[in-house]
């Protein structure tokens, strides 16, 4: 259960519906997922979040699939269940293979492990790593 009700198309305001429409058009699907339905209580935050997401996750210097995997990595480290599920699904939709999924998990695990050991050791940053 969310801390706010999820708004159906009928319950959403005109401003929120306009964002839903753009989500549908951009993604080529009629399905609007729960995150946007929860955000619909605040159409300004809904629009700002969606507009920014389109820019950040769109084509650029990084492959869209790589962006989704970075998204999953951050969401995993932050323990965000919804985000892990939704962006793992998005990565799959963009072509992530089972072998790539496994390797991503192995890298996440490796990073978590050394994050812990380095922090426990309080290793000082080498001069050669500084920009």
Q: How far is the CB of 19 from a copy of itself (least distance, A)?
A: 15
Cβ nearer to a copy of itself, comparing 1 with 14 = 1
Cβ nearer to a copy of itself, comparing 28 with 79 = 79
Q: How far is the CB of 22 from a copy of itself (least distance, A)?
A: 17
Residue 101 has a CB neighbour count (10 Å cut-off) of: 15
Q: How far is the CB of 25 from a copy of itself (least distance, A)?
A: 19
Cβ nearer to a copy of itself, comparing 18 with 100 = 100
Report the C-alpha gap between 72 and 123 in whole angstroms: 27
Name residues whose C-beta falls within 8 Å of residue 31's C-beta, 6 or more positions apart in sequence.
24
The helix/strand/coil state of 84 is helix
Which ranges constitute the DSSP H helices of the chain? 14-27, 34-39, 43-57, 64-77, 81-93, 98-121
Alpha-carbon dihedral angle through residues 20, 25, 50, 69, given to the nearest 10 degrees: 130
Cβ nearer to a copy of itself, comparing 21 with 60 = 60
Q: How far is the CB of 33 from a copy of itself (least distance, A)?
A: 5
């Amino acid at each position: 259960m969310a801390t706010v009700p999820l708004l159906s198309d009928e319950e959403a305001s005109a401003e929120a519906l306009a964002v839903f429409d753009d989500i549908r058009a951009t993604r080529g699907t009629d399905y609007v997922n729960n995150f946007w339905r929860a955000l619909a209580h605040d159409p300004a935050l809904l629009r700002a979040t969606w507009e920014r997401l389109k820019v950040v996750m769109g084509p650029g210097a990084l492959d869209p699939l790589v962006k989704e995997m970075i998204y999953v990595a951050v969401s995993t480290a932050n323990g965000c269940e919804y985000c892990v599920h939704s962006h793992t699904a998005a990565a799959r939709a963009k072509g992530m293979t089972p072998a790539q999924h496994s390797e991503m998990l192995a890298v996440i695990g490796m990073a978590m492990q050394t994050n812990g050991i380095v922090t426990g050791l309080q290793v000082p940053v080498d001069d050669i790593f500084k920009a």
